[in-house]
Amino acid sequence: MAKLSTEELLGQFKELTLLELSEFVKAFEEEFGVTAAAPVAVAAAAGAPAAAAEEAVEQDEFDVVLESAGEKKIQVIKEVRGLTSLGLKEAKDLVEAAPKPILEKVDKAAAEKAKEALEGAGATVTLK
């Protein structure tokens, strides 16, 4: 039998049905003592760090963290109450315990809006 090129082999595989191809893979694995799943798992594991890096670059959830209330603590407490459903005492306690998260896992637009409002009241805010 003449040796087939990669393109010729792929052409032959294209003509097979999925059932025939599955039977071929099983026979190939038995003949050579290998499994087709192992290279796929290795490729998937190798791709995982790249996917994690992309996910970190394209962050879509942010935490709004109050670093300090600044000089206008009352204004900051009012803004915290407006951004959250906290009562006066809870908002005051949160502001006094800074650094503390005000909002967690919000989209970028909401995080930016909250940051602007808090900074407008005199607070120091970071987005994480």
Q: In which residue are the tokens 């595989």 written?
A: 13
What confidence score (pLDDT) does residue 97 get? 87
39/33: higher pLDDT: 33
What confidence score (pLDDT) does residue 72 get? 85
Domains within the chain, CATH numbers bracketed: 62-127 (3.30.1390.10)
Percent of the chain with pLDDT over 70: 81
Predicted confidence (pLDDT) per residue in 49-104, tens digit: 555 555 555 677 888 888 888 888 899 888 888 888 888 998 889 888 878 888 88
52/119: higher pLDDT: 119
Per-residue pLDDT for 35 more than 60? Answer: yes
What confidence score (pLDDT) does residue 53 get? 53
- Cα torsion 96, 117, 56, 104: sign: positive
Mean pLDDT for the stretch of residues 31-39: 72
